[in-house]
Amino acid sequence: MSDEKRSLAKCSGFDAMLENHGCVVLAGSFDYEDGGSQGLGYVINAAFLREFMRVFNVERLQQVNGRSCWVTHSYNNISKVEPLHKADGKTFDIKAWSDALKEK
């Protein structure tokens, strides 16, 4: 049985930064409509960033902040980020992305 749920969220504080080992990290949080909040922090490459930004159909990462989306998540994991409306962007299945990288 999966403990995942799909929640409406607003994006806040998303930015790309260098961590202390020189890796690029995407970090920010999803503020859920029920009052909860959950952070997202991933070491990324350009392809990951492109897929994340396609959810919101934006050209600059800063434009993600303040936008709403659907997030499929559990207590300690975010597995999918979807546009608010299907016509707005493209779903990013982070779990499938991560699983595909592990297979390589």
Give the pLDDT of residue 3: 92
Give the pLDDT of residue 100: 85
CATH number for the domain spanning 27: value is 2.40.50
Which residues, at least 6 apart from 80, have a Cβ–Cβ distance to it below 8 Å? 70, 71, 72, 91, 92, 93, 94, 95
- pLDDT tens digit sequence for 29-78: 999 999 999 999 999 999 999 999 999 999 999 999 999 999 999 999 99
Largest CA distance in the chain: 38
Average pLDDT, the chain: 93
Rounded to whole angstroms, the Cα distance separating 55 from 81 reads 7
Which residues, at least 6 apart from 36, have a Cβ–Cβ distance to it below 8 Å? 7
> Which pLDDT band, with edges at 50, 70 and 90, does 98 fall under?
confident
Give the predicted TM-score (pTM) of the model: 0.91
Pick from 29, 54, 56, 53: nearest CA to 41: 29
Structural domain including 68 reads 5-103
Provide the number of structural domains found in the chain: 1
